[in-house]
Amino acid sequence: MAVGTVRRLAAEILGVGESRVVIKPEGLSEVAGAMTREDVRQLIEKGLISKKPKKGRRKKERKKKRGPGSKKGKRFDEKEEWMKKVRSQRKLLRILVEKNILAKEKKREIYLKIKSGMFRSKRALIQYLKDNELIAQDFDLEKVRMDGKSERS
């Protein structure tokens, strides 16, 4: 029998892939003389055919130390930061439109820019509005009431 066929049979018997089957060079003539599966089993028992150990890490080791309890360093949640930033900018935008400082037609355009994360902060938002002449140059953020309620109520 061809050595390739013996390798295939040995892989089936050992329950591994053909690449993990090792045939010792000194027993090649004996391996070539094997005719049946039983002959291949006897060669495995003699030690002329063996299997290589598995490569790589074990699954258990890979899964270790992954949970939140084993993480070190300051917890930094990017989504929380983004939510705080965007919510404050949207609140400012709503106040500017309510107090007629910003034209109502421009609200959607600015809202989408806020959503895309274009502005780092409320100050950057105000600066953008000033640069594009959407609000007055002498606008002062401190003078605007930041509670979100209009002066009517």
Does the residue 67 lie in any domain?
Answer: no
Query: Are 126 and 90 within one domain?
Result: yes
Distance between CA atoms of 1 and 35, rounded to whole angstroms? 6
Cα torsion for 85, 90, 95, 96, to the nearest 10°?
Answer: 100
Confidence of residue 62 (pLDDT cuts 50, 70, 90): low
Does the residue 47 lie in any domain?
Answer: yes
54 vs 9, higher pLDDT: 9
Q: What is the pLDDT of residues 17-56, one digit of tens each?
A: 999 999 999 988 888 888 899 999 999 998 999 999 988 7
Strand-pairing partners, residue 50, are 22
Does the residue 58 lie in any domain?
Answer: no
Distance between CA atoms of 7 and 11, rounded to whole angstroms? 6
Does the residue 56 lie in any domain?
Answer: no
Range of the domain at 93: 78-143
Q: What is the pLDDT of residues 106-134, one digit of tens each?
A: 999 999 999 999 999 999 999 999 999 99
